[in-house]
Structure 1
Amino acid sequence: MPIYDMEFEMDLSLGDKIKEMAEAFGPDKFLQVLNQMDWVPKNTTTSKPAEHVLLQEAVEYYFSSDSYTELAKSSKEAYRYEMGMFIKFCNKHFQEPDFKSVCTSPFLGSYLAPVKNKNTRSKKAAFLRNFLRTVLDHFYEENINKLKRVLKVTVDKRRLPRAFTKEQIDELIMLARLGRESFRNFVILWTFLGTGIRLSELRTLQVGDIKPQTQEIYVRSKGEKEYKTPSKITEFSLELLNQFVKFRYGAIRDLPNYSELYVFSDNKGISPLHDSTIQKMLANLIEEASTISDDDKRVYQLSVHSLRHSFALYLLESGVDPYTIQQLLRHKWLSSTEVYLKLFDDTLVKVINQHPLANLKVTDFF
C-alpha cells in the first residue's frame, strides 16, 4: 500500500480519537487545555491595530503585562505611584482620557515640564517609557521612537552617593536604643553596617540564611529571583543577629518551619517587615539626630541606602582596595564600586590638611 494511504488512514484514526475526546469533555474545554499546553499554533495573520483605546483600558493591560509583573517589588510600588500621578494629570485635561490623546510629545512634555530636578524627571520618564512602549506595542504595533526625545532619561553623574559620617552613625545607634522596638532597630542598623546589604535584602532575610560557620548571611541579590548569594558579615553584627534571633524565636526553635521564619517581622516571622517600616524608622532617627544638618534631613539626601554607602566608604578609609569592596558589595561591575573613590577624595583632602606642614603660610617665608 502506498505511503500516502497509510498516512491518510492515520489521520482518520487521529481525527476520530480527537472527536471522541472533544465530545467527552466538551469542545470549549478541550480547546482551552490545548491552548494552555501551547499545542495550538499561534495565529500569524496580522491583526488590525486598535482604533480607540481608553487610558483606563491601557492601564489595566499594563498592570497585567510581563513588563510590569516581572519588575521588582519596589519598582512595582514606584510605578504604581507614578501611574497615579500621571492619571491624575490626564483627568485634569480630559473628561474620559483616550490613550492616543495622552501619548503625544506636547502632552507628555507639559506633564514633565514642572519637574526641575533631573533625577526625578528621569525616573518619571523611565516609567512612561515602560508604560507607553508596552501599550503601543500591544494595541497599535508601534514603538516609542518618536517620543524618546521628550522622554529623555539622563543621570546626573555629578551626584555622588551620600554617606553618614562616623559621628552621625554613633548618634543614630544611640537613638535607636532609646525608642520603640529598640532591640530590633539596633540590630537592623548593625546588620546594614556590618554587611552593606540593600534594604530588600535585609527585609527578606530568613533565620536559615544566617551561617555562623562561614560568617555569612545569604541574601536575594538585586535582580536575582531564583537563588540567594552569600554576603560576609562582621563578627559583631553576626553575634548581634544571632542574639536577636534567639530572643525572638528561641522558644519555637523546634518548629518545622523555623529556618523559614523572617528575621525582621511584625507577625512572628510569617512575613517580612515592609520597606516603609524600616525607611520610616531610619527617617525618624535622622530627624532626631542633632549631628545631621537640616539640609541633609531633606528628602532624597540621607536614607537607608546611605548605610550601604557608609559601609563602602569606611572600608576605603581603612585601606581596603576597591576590588575587595566590589566583592563585599556584590557589584557586578567595578565601575559601580569606583564611584566611592570620589567620596574618598574629600576624606583625603581633610587628611592632607592635617599634615604638620599644611598650616604653613607663604607669607611666613616672604
Structure 2
Amino acid sequence: MALEGLISKRTDAPYRSGRTESWIKSKCALSQEFVIIGYVPSSTSRQAVGALVLGYYEEKELVHAGRAGTGFTDETALALRSGLESIETTQPKFKRPVDKASLQNVRWVEPRFVADIQFRGWSTDKLLRQAAFKGIREDTAAKDVVLEEPKGPTMKPARKTASQVNLTHPDRIIFDLDPGEGVEWEEVIAGALEVKDRLKSQGLESFVKTTGGKGLHVVSPIMPSGEWERVKAFTKKMAEAMAADSSRKYLAVMTKSRRKGRIFIDYLRNGRGATAIAAYSTRARTGAAVSVPLTWTELKTGIRANQFTIDNLRQRLSHRKRDAWRGFFELKQKLPG
C-alpha cells in the first residue's frame, strides 16, 4: 500500500495540533545490501563523496539501482572518497539500459565494496527512493549481492495484507448518512436500518459504525470484481430510491441549502479517489471522537455518532468479548447484476 509510516503520541500528553515532542512519526523503511559501483563527488567538499551509485547482481549481470545521497557523516564522506578514488575504473556493462541522467557526473569504481542501504521503496523506473547510507558490510562479498525479497515476521494474517488489497476494484460499499440541521438522532438510526434492509433485499449483508461526527456509515463488503463506476452507480440508484420514496426524510444530492430537516444519503464515498473515515480513526475535532464499529443491536440502544473518543474507547474494547464486525472479512458477496 506504500504507506509512509505511523504517527504515535505519548499516552499522557494532551491531544493538540501542531508539532510537539509528544508526537512521533515512525517512517516505514526497507533495508538491503548493494554493491558500490560508483560515486558522485560532493558539491561542497572536494575530498568527499556526495552520493554513492549502487547496484546488484541478477543472473551474474550487474543491474543499476540508483543513488544514496544521505546518511554520511563528514568523516564518513571523506573516508569513502579516499577509498573509492583508488579503485576508479570505466563504466561497467549493465544488464539493462541506464538513462542518461543517472550517468551524469558519476565516477565509476570496481565493484569491491558492499553498502548497507535503507530506503523507502522503488520508483516506477526501478530506482531506489530516498536511499540512505548506513555503513559498509565487510562480511558480504560483492559478487553475492542480489535483490532480496521483502522480509518480515511469518504470521497467519487475520486481516487483509497489502498484497491482498486490490486497489483497482472496490471491496466494499459505503453509505454515509449525513443529517442536516434539525434531524433527530433516532431518525439517523432509522435511516441506517432502512439502508440495511434495502441492501438485504439485494442479497447483501451490511455493518454499521459511528463516524465520530454527526452521522453513521453503513458498510457492505463485496468481492473486488466490479468496476468503481458500477459500484457508484448501484449506490446512487439506491440513494435516489430512498429520496424518491421519502422525500421529506432523505435526499441524494449534496446541496447544503436543501439538507435542513433531511438526511443526505451520501453515495459519493464510492467513487474512485473518494475518502471516508476508517474504523477506529480519530476526527480532528474537539474531544477527538473516534469512528467505531457497532453491532446492529447496539445501534438500537441509542449510541451517539460521537460517543466514543480516545478517552473512553479503551474501556469499550476491554468489555467486548467479540468483534462488532465479526465475519466482515469472511463474507464473499457479489454486487447484484
Q: Shorter-chain TM-score: which interval?
A: under 0.3
- Give the greater-gyration-radius structure (CA): 1
Structure with the bigger percentage of helix: 1
Structure with the bigger percentage of strand: 2
TM-score w.r.t. structure 1 length? Answer: 0.24
